[in-house]
Structure 1
């Protein structure tokens, strides 16, 4: 009797399997089906599960049955997550508990919503009668995975849509998010996530147009006025354009310049300031010829990627120190690598009139450059800034009889030194950055003002 009963059970199983096999659709292309028994490392089952997929009209990856490199497999059209020893709900939690690998996210199964979580422990992992239930489900699933929800309501499965777990955010991430939100809302402060203390935003500090020297967390001025000994290891580099007003607007600066009294300024004179000797000379000559209704502002471009003034090799911090001693407003214009110089500088000039210095007459009266005798450079400026009146107070002046003696005199009068900020070592052996500039010690083959790029300089004012 026992043997007869066993034969009957086997016959019933085989008959049902044959019926299911006959029911399986014949597809023009067999979809690739992953029956995933483990996620990391990836293990795709073989054995009876692979046979079931083939009976149901699908195909398994060629390398099933061992730990696999998913990047070497045929992409899955359907993924069935049947984790070994886990029921459906626990398997789902396992999926949601960690970021899924890139191969998973890029697979056609995920893109088309053909990922399913089943009770692998009951339906796939053990050789019981329930394998036939699983086979019946596969027969319904493989031809039309988009409709399986309606077809098979009693089988313990769930269509799976991955919801990434919330990313763990560091304290710095929280600070950045709070700061960005406050800046976007043009708020002066935000509450520090760690301490609850109020912290000034970069937006507010930029609106103040002065570095207070207190090493503010979001100082947009590169901590320019923080004493070197107080900087520590957390120094802000300038990352965007900033405008700094003159420290003492109603006082004379080092070169004797005094801005027009309130309401008298009719136009702005923009001195393109590199921080070197040529712009120093050009600024002096401009101040000497200035009208009472003209207000001076310095404009310097800097590269936020390298944190220096291009070519001159001078850090923005030094430029800010110079402007502070000269008691002049300064517009530092960020010029990232590869950026369009013309558009950025012209936009900065418009911004000067509209928002940075709106009470200074509402127009630009001229642009000042320190060009000496390079015609191609001057021609380029004439073309680029054709809509402005250009001033070149040093143009074609005698270097030996005029400019170099004048520079020497200015350094004595205004307590300054000129040092090398960049040196072409192939032409000037023995000279180093930081050495004091002395034209008489230069080789006769070198332009005494370095006009051909042999060297560049920085003006260092005594404080």
Structure 2
């Protein structure tokens, strides 16, 4: 039987890692490319603030070809969709019919992805969709994955939170209302070891910085959909 040629939307974090692991266990699919959006102004992974060098080291350790979608610092929806269309069209021309995401329960985001990809004749799949997030995190750790927190919303967390490695005590110490997987954007991680890696990724912890952002008043024209917000970042050095 011919396997379904799939590319994976790779964020560098734990949910992507676990979803990719699930997909690699499914004999119906072959994952031939990892696709990641990068902030071209800072040369870092979008949202996560991870250095591009660590992204490259990570995908090399996984052993799957990777490609980057370079975006400006605060892309309008029009620019975002233009860049995505350009990249996805290339992938379709190379024989890809499916694409996978690590999303868990954000219905609006899934609907948006499916609608946009459907226009190009591509099908979106979600390997860990609707799984209990506490169970997912425990599964992630039980499988031997390791991940470190690279950024966190200052609404819930202080400077001390970023730069910590997630362990079994993590869930019990989360503030009330924070999802165990940070599915609502409360925090993001960098996965540096686990069963999908040929070897762990080496890094050291650098500076921790706080940045505050203000989105355009015309929210409908921006990929990000919140008002002013603050983020703590932990720089990881290759």
**TM-score normalised per structure 2:** 0.71
SS in 2 for 1:322: helix
Q: 2:101 aligned with 1:369, yes or no?
A: yes
Q: Can you give the 5+ residue segments of structure 2 that lack an aligned partner in the other structure?
A: 194-199, 202-238
Q: Deviations over 1:43-81 (max 9, x none)?
A: xxxxxxxxxxxxxxxxxxxxxxxxxxxxxxxxxxxxxxx
Contact 2:114 2:123 in 1 (8 A): no
Q: Structure 2 matches for 1:204-215, cutoff 5 A?
A: none
Counterpart position of 1:285: 22
Counterpart position of 1:320: 56
Q: Structure 2 matches for 1:63-82, cutoff 5 A?
A: none
1:406 to 131, 136, 139: 139
CA RMSD, 1 decimal:
2.1
Please identify which structure carries the higher strand content.
Answer: 2
Q: Deviations over 1:130-173 (max 9, x none)?
A: xxxxxxxxxxxxxxxxxxxxxxxxxxxxxxxxxxxxxxxxxxxx
2:182 to 450, 454, 461: 450
Q: 2:116 aligned with 1:381, yes or no?
A: no
Shift of 1:409: 1.8
SS in 2 for 1:431: helix
1:275 to 12, 22, 27: 12
Please identify which structure carries the higher helix content.
Answer: 1
Contact 2:9 2:34 in 1 (8 A): yes
> CA 1:420/1:380 → structure 2, altered by over 3 Å: closer, same or farther?
same
Counterpart position of 1:393: 127
CA distance in 1, matches of 2:160, 2:6: 36
Q: Deviations over 1:184-229 (max 9, x none)?
A: xxxxxxxxxxxxxxxxxxxxxxxxxxxxxxxxxxxxxxxxxxxxxx
- Between 1 and 2, higher relative CO (CA 8 Å, sep ≥ 6) is seen in 2
SS in 1 for 2:17: helix
Larger-Rg structure: 1
Q: Can you give the 5+ residue segments of structure 1 that lack an aligned partner in the other structure?
A: 1-263, 355-361
Shift of 1:270: 0.8
> CA 1:372/1:353 → structure 2, altered by over 3 Å: closer, same or farther?
closer
CA distance in 2, matches of 1:375, 1:267: 25
